[in-house]
Structure 1
Amino acid sequence: MPISSILSPTATELARHVADGLHRTPKALSSMYFYDDAGSRLFQQIMDLPEYYPTRAEFAIFREHGAAIAAALSPAGGGDFALVELGAGDGAKTKLLLRELLAAGTPFTYAPVDISAGAMTGLVAALKQELPALNVAPVVEDYATALTQLRTRPGSKAVLFLGSNIGNFGPAERLDFLRQLAAPLAPADRLLIGFDLQKDPRRIRAAYDDAQGVTAAFNLNLLTRLNRELGADFDLAHWQHYTDYNPLNGAVRSFLVSTRAQQVRVEALDETFDFAAWEVIHTENSYKFTLPQIEALAAEAGLRVVEYFTDAATDFADVVLAAR
């Protein structure tokens, strides 16, 4: 029986991804599938961890430079525009920017995009209570669909991609993604992208392997999702989280490690996969950047750096970009 005849469209896409990823050498699954409702809740916890500096650093940028960022994203000639945020999550940092725009009397519509319906429901409810004057047009979609819709959205726009999510793409995927973001931009449109900057390698590694084990639970939740949605039988007692950081290329890599030789059945695929003891599934990359690397990447993608904002420790940069 074909996969598409027994699964929802979302589950069908996930099943095809798993079939492809578990046949690779080494095996790999995309971090985009971390963010079911449980994964989104776990990531909210990660952002509050003492080891996880990126969220605090980006908050500091928005608190210190919020008015300047709002001005940099608003159309120079005034007028209504759409503020589109890819991967909105709980919108905590973005609310600082939204308040600046509302205080300035800037006419705009906030269009948060998130793959998690649960996260979006919570965000919209919070915005209605905290910022009742805000015009919100939520979109529950993946990035690919949102980018397609972005191409057809009329009028001026500013696109947000915060939280160092750009680092989750490998070099080729990153360039392709940025070119997709650049394609629909008119000269007056803007992008605001968060980049985690290179720093003490020990601090970086600790941010992805916290002492409380929340990041481990976040990684392992991917297997729980496969069990629930695809009828897999991963035994989480025989899997563990592992991460490393390579300061030569700025890459944090996260893995799920099979602690024994085992077989895993995936009913939706009608297939059983063999895992050797200590074999890994590569689940995530998180690249760290330098400012010269960001400028070179932007140029290659057909973008230019308009302005960048950093926290006092230069741990993080929010970079305003425009089409060249």
Structure 2
Amino acid sequence: MLNVLTELAQHVAKGLRRMPKTLSSMYFYDDIGSRLFQQIMDLPEYYPTRTEFAIFREHGAAIVAALSPADGGEFALVELGAGDGAKTKLLLRELLAAGPGFTYAPVDISAGAMTGLVAALQQELPALRVEPVVEDYATALDQLRTWPGSKAVLFLGSNIGNFGPAERLDFLRQLAAPLAPADRLLVGFDLQKDPRRIRAAYDDAQGVTAAFNLNLLTRLNRELGADFDLAYWQHYTDYSPLNGAVRSFLVSTRAQKVRVATLEETFDFAAWEVIHTENSYKFTMPQIEALATEAGLRVVASFTDAAGDFADVVLAV
């Protein structure tokens, strides 16, 4: 826990000294934040989770065929950020039904989440071979270089959209580096659509997304001894069709000072000054193909829902 707090404290110190002030969305997910995000995924406005489920239900067999080795040999299905594995279970059932020998290797930094996932899989899919990896992405990617046999890597849920353009390209190159020609990479991309629908997905009428964003300040109060008064902060989101970026902010509604005890530092906020907390980029298929090419990858197959809201794209080096 000390290392995590030290990392969080260092991040907050760096982010709140910047102009504009910035905090990473990776720190949204404490226990309360994780529960709030589960609620977000069930909201009527939040389409990404439902649409990726629909893709897996409709195209599961074809996706499995695109991910499996051509020679029918053994391979590992490696999922970065496995979480509760709800969507992936659809693919796992297809793989088990198809019969090829494979091992599922979920990767997550949370040991607690991994324990729950493995227990659920043992109960629901007892024939499945599971080798959990409790590591961050960078460490897991290094381990992939020495992974024996073929592999298919999953990065689902439009998480690629949380990276800025330069970081996104660098991350895809890191994913590509340990892949052999026979290996595959499946990435989920949220597609550009009606701008009003996109914005509503990140600013729902019930205020759950606002609570999710504001919970970051509650976490800093609890873990770093900060004194953010949530009565003087609000959630704001915008979406630009020009670059496909949803941006989320925490807005200071008055001039105020915030003390962070762990840092022994006080930060000044002007009225209506913002803390930028999240980006979520949306894509077109030509953009995805161009990004893949720049990262040293090619599109093998792509699968979309009926409305064209979301794409799961199979890539290879």
Q: CA, structure 1 residues 294+100, in 2 after alignment: closer, same or farther (shift >3 Å)?
A: same
Where does structure 1 lack aligned partners over 5 or more consecutive residues?
Answer: 1-6
User: In structure 1, how many angstroms separate the alpha carbons of the residues matched to 2:80 and 2:111?
Assistant: 14
| Shift in CA distance, 144/266, structure 1 to aligned 2, threshold 3 Å | farther
User: TM-score, normalised to structure 1's length?
Assistant: 0.94
Separation in structure 1 between the aligned mates of residue 131 and residue 220 of structure 2, nearest angstrom: 31
Please give the alpha-carbon distance, in whole angstroms, between the structure 1 residues aligned to 2:32 and 2:143: 27
Whole-Å Cα distance in 2 between the matches of residues 136 and 35 of structure 1?
A: 25
Question: Which of these residues, 278, 288, 295, is aligned with residue 294 of structure 1?
Answer: 288
Q: Partners in 2 of 1:321 and 1:105 — Cα distance?
A: 23
CA distance in 2, matches of 1:227, 1:220: 11
Q: Give the Å deviation of 1:110.
A: 1.2
Post-superposition Cα deviations, 1:228-287, rounded to whole Å, max 9, x if no partner, equal 222222222221111000001000000011112211121221211111111110000000
Q: How does 1:299-318 map to 2 (within 5 A)?
A: 299-318=293-312
Matched position secondary structure for 1:192: strand
Q: How does 1:36-115 map to 2 (within 5 A)?
A: 36-115=30-109
The alignment covers a number of residue pairs equal to: 317
CA 1:290–1:15 in 2, change beyond 3 Å: closer, same or farther?
same
1:1-324 → structure 2 map (5 Å cutoff): 8-323=2-317
Change (3 A) 1:202 1:152: same
Q: Which amino acid aligns with 1:261?
A: A
Counterpart of 1:260, as a letter, is R
For 1:47, the aligned partner's letter is M
Q: CA deviation at 1:18?
A: 1.1
Distance 1:220 1:116 in 2: 22
Are 1:156 and 1:188, in contact at CA under 8 Å, matched by a contact in 2? yes
Superposition TM-score, scaled by structure 2 size: 0.96
Q: How many Å apart are 1:144 and its aligned residue?
A: 2.5
- Aligned-pair identity (%): 89
CA contact 1:253–1:284 (8 Å) conserved in 2: yes
Indicate if the aligned counterparts of 1:205 and 1:245 stay in contact, CA closer than 8 A.
yes
Alpha carbons 1:36, 1:116 under 8 Å: kept: no
The one-letter amino acid paired with 1:258 is S
> Structure 1 residues 111 and 273 mapped into 2: Cα distance closer, same or farther (>3 Å)?
same
How far did 1:221 drift?
Answer: 1.6
Counterpart CA distance in 1 for 2:137 and 2:270 is 34
Greater shift, 298-307 or 74-83, is seen at 74-83
Tell me how far 1:315 sits from its aligned partner. 0.5
Comparing 287-296 with 232-241, greater Cα deviation is found at 232-241
Q: 1:220 to 1:139 in 2, by over 3 A?
A: farther
SS at structure 1 position matched to 2:243: coil
Which piece of structure 1 moves more, 110-119 or 87-96?
Answer: 110-119
